[in-house]
């Protein structure tokens, strides 16, 4: 009986240590349809994941943190529009990402957009955003309900 209790305690502790990771979509149509269905803003990360140092730094310091992932899981639909140089993407995905970059006038990386389910830009962040996850989350919370002002 003691072994069963100990096993249950160890199993329970292990499960508590697990966290749900945020799901990053790559298909824009799927992402915007999910945003509409769930009535959540769409957060787009325009990145050069395998060559852009600022993109990698921001991903490590903010986007991949437990704080951002916990916030995003409940409040955002996530889309990664990647422009890698070392690891080519399928042609259709490359074309989609280029089309999105043109549509939203992205000319540098990282560029982060918060889009309403009706595809209106609520917030735009050009370049690396310093300060870590909490200040960035606070900016997203503030901008999620506001009309975008360039």
CA-based nearest residue to 77, from 120, 124, 26: 26
Q: Any idea what DSSP says for residue 30?
A: H
Residue that has been written with the tokens 């996850």 in this structure:
133
pLDDT band at 13 (very low <50, low <70, confident <90, very high): very low
pLDDT per position as a tens digit, 28-43 = 999 999 999 999 999 9
Q: For residues 71, 37, 149 and 103, what is the CA-based torsion angle, rounded to 10 degrees?
A: 110
**What is residue 104's predicted lDDT score, i.e. its pLDDT?**
97
Tell whether the model's pLDDT for residue 6 goes beyond 60: no
pLDDT band at 63 (very low <50, low <70, confident <90, very high): very high
pLDDT per position as a tens digit, 90-137 = 999 999 999 999 999 999 999 999 999 999 999 999 999 999 999 999
What's the angle, vertex CA 63, arms to CA 46 and CA 98, rounded to 5? Answer: 10
pLDDT band at 22 (very low <50, low <70, confident <90, very high): confident
**What is residue 69's predicted lDDT score, i.e. its pLDDT?**
97
How far is residue 107's CA from residue 94's CA, in Å, rounded to a whole number?
15
CA-based nearest residue to 109, from 84, 131, 140: 84
pLDDT band at 5 (very low <50, low <70, confident <90, very high): very low
pTM: 0.84
- Please list, in sequence order, all residues whose beta carbon lies within 8 angstroms of the beta carbon of residue 126, skipping any fewer than 6 positions away: 108, 111
More confident residue, 149 or 74: 74
Tell whether the model's pLDDT for residue 10 goes beyond 50: no
- DSSP assignment of 53-95 equals HHHHHHIIIIITSHHHHHHHHHH-EEEEEE--SSSPPPHHHHH
**What is residue 21's predicted lDDT score, i.e. its pLDDT?**
77
Q: Which two tokens stand for residue 6?
A: 């100990």
**What is residue 143's predicted lDDT score, i.e. its pLDDT?**
83
How far is residue 111's CA from residue 99's CA, in Å, rounded to a whole number?
15
């Amino acid at each position: 009986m003691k072994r069963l209790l100990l096993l249950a305690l160890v199993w329970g502790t292990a499960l508590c240590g697990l966290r749900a990771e945020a799901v990053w979509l790559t298909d824009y149509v799927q992402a915007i349809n999910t945003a509409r269905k769930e009535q959540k803003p769409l957060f787009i990360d325009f990145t050069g994941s395998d060559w852009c140092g600022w993109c990698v730094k921001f991903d490590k310091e903010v986007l991949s943190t437990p704080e951002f992932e916990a916030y995003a899981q409940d409040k955002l639909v996530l889309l990664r529009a990647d422009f890698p140089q070392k690891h080519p993407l399928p042609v259709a995905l490359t074309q989609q990402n280029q089309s999105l970059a043109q549509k939203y006038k992205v000319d540098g990386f990282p560029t982060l957009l918060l889009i309403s389910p009706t595809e209106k830009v609520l917030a735009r962040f050009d370049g690396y955003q310093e300060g870590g996850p909490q200040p960035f989350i606070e900016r997203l919370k503030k901008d999620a309900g506001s009309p975008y002002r360039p």
